[in-house]
Amino acid sequence: MNLLDSKVIQTELEKEIFIDQSSNIELSHFRSPDKNFPFYEALVSIGMMRIRSNDYYGTKNEVFGIRVSEDLQSIFVFETEKQNIFAIKNEEERQAAIELIEYLLTNSANFNQLVTTMIDHLKQTNVVCTREIKETKGKLELLERLITIRPEDITFPSPKRITA
């Protein structure tokens, strides 16, 4: 029998379940540092199964961003505008989301395999122009850093306070 790793976020309305499979993880929207933006950046999308009242309620993608300093030392998780994993979550639910992200970035064999596969593909890519070389080099640097993340390397966003 093959048991899957999964993580559950219990919200007021439903259970959001992440099953640690490569098909449930996507890394996209890479950005390299430039004179106006001193960070590497990427978005991570994870597929979540939804259960309401003990019935399957569909799936949704939850997204968070990773921002890494130019020197590749500081790693920041940030909230995205759309499909934000932290959206509409109280403090307890938010903490569960942080634990899920930390697990994904530091312990998930499937995330590491995805990153390793992306590195292998990039190393085999035939780039010709200066812009492509710079983009490929930036992605490689970021991806290689993602393989070595430890929990203490990650800074999470503080909760946004709504004021009237």
Contact 44, 64 (CB under 8 A): yes
- 3-state SS, one letter per residue, for 87-121: CCCCHHHHHHHHHHHHHHHHCCHHHHHHHHHHHHH
Query: Mean pLDDT score of the chain, rounded to an integer?
Result: 91
**pTM of this structure:** 0.90
Which of 113, 76, 73, 83 is closest to 16 using CA atoms? 83
Q: What is the pLDDT of residues 5-50, one digit of tens each?
A: 889 999 998 999 999 999 999 999 999 998 999 999 999 999 999 9
User: How much is the pLDDT for 164?
Assistant: 46
Residue the block writes with tokens 């979540």: 48
Give Cβ neighbours of residue 137 (< 8 Å, ≥ 6 apart).
32
d(CA 164, CA 105): 36
131 burial (CB, 10 Å; 0-12 / 13-18 / 19+) is exposed
6 φ/ψ angles, rounded to the nearest 5 degrees: -145, 155
User: How much is the pLDDT for 160?
Assistant: 63
d(CA 84, CA 106): 20
**108 compared with 3, residue with greater pLDDT:** 108
Q: In the chain, pLDDT over 70 holds for what percent of residues?
A: 95
